[in-house]
Structure 1
Amino acid sequence: MYKVTIHAYRRKDMSEEDFHRHWTNIHAPKVSAFLRKYGIVGYTQYHTPSWVRAKASQQLHTLGPFASDNLVDYDGYVELRMPELDCYERARRDPYYAQVVKPDEEAFFDFERSRITVGWEEVYIEGGELR
């Protein structure tokens, strides 16, 4: 199972609150069924507002400077899970992507600063159970 992870920054002219609200209430409904149509079996948003990062930084200091000093400042990330990378490519070629998804992404994501990773995940504990 492949995973495309987009480490996202919000547009600089958008508040954190507006970013997270838009991503959850506007963007997710526009893309969920669309992504599934192309074989994407998982779509997860991971929200990391500054207040959570600040709290985590204070609590992680007990693990040493690596944990507290290297906390990334992304506003969140999205994970797309799929059996083949072609699923993502086919979705991006659909006219719906160009007409609906891309303009919406441009309304709240800062693509110049955001980053993408691609790989696979290996799960060793799931639902509290060892695998």
Structure 2
Amino acid sequence: MYAFTILGFKRDDMTEDEYHNYISTVHSAHLKALLAQNDIVSYTMQHNTSQTRDDLLNKVYQGQMPAEKVFECDAIIQVVFKTVEDYLRVREDPHFQTVVNPDHVNFAHPTKTRFVMGWHEVHVADGKVVS
């Protein structure tokens, strides 16, 4: 399996709440059915806010996490697929090209957002060791 991971940053003119609401409700609604129709394994979002960066990291690491170690992206979105061809079908679909891809200008920071792709391993799922 493979994963396409987006280190997402909100547009400068959006609040954190506006950004997280938009990607969770509007953008994901454009994409979910298309991913499912093309055998995509999973589509997940991790929402990172100033509160989670400050409060939760501080609680978990008891104030011992150096600030320079904290990456401040607004979200991490991951699409997991069995074959690259599965993901290519999504990207080549007319709905992706005319609706999903153009929608990025409504929320994504055009120069800060980053992408990475690699193979995907699952070691624990649903509380069970699976590898």
TM-score (norm 1): 0.88
SS at match of 2:45: strand
Cα offset, 1:24, TM superposition: 1.0
* Superposition RMSD in Å: 1.8
Query: In 1, distance between residues paired with 2:105 and 2:97?
Result: 11
- What is aligned with 2:122? 123
Name the stretch that deviates more: 54-63 or 34-43. Answer: 54-63
Cα offset, 1:99, TM superposition: 1.2
What percent identity do the matched residue pairs reach?
28
- What is aligned with 2:8? 8
Q: Is the 8 A contact 2:58 2:65 kept in 1?
A: no
- What is aligned with 1:70? 69
Cα offset, 1:65, TM superposition: 4.2
Unaligned stretches of 5+ residues in structure 1: none
Cα offset, 1:116, TM superposition: 1.0
Q: Is the 8 A contact 1:57 1:69 kept in 2?
A: no
Q: Assess, with a 3 A threshold, how the Cα gap between structure 1 residues 53 and 89 changes in structure 2: closer, same or farther.
A: same
TM-score (norm 2): 0.88
- What is aligned with 2:103? 104
SS at match of 1:21: helix
SS at match of 2:72: coil
- What is aligned with 2:81? 82
Query: In 2, distance between residues paired with 1:64 and 1:123?
Result: 28
Q: Is the 8 A contact 2:2 2:118 kept in 1?
A: yes
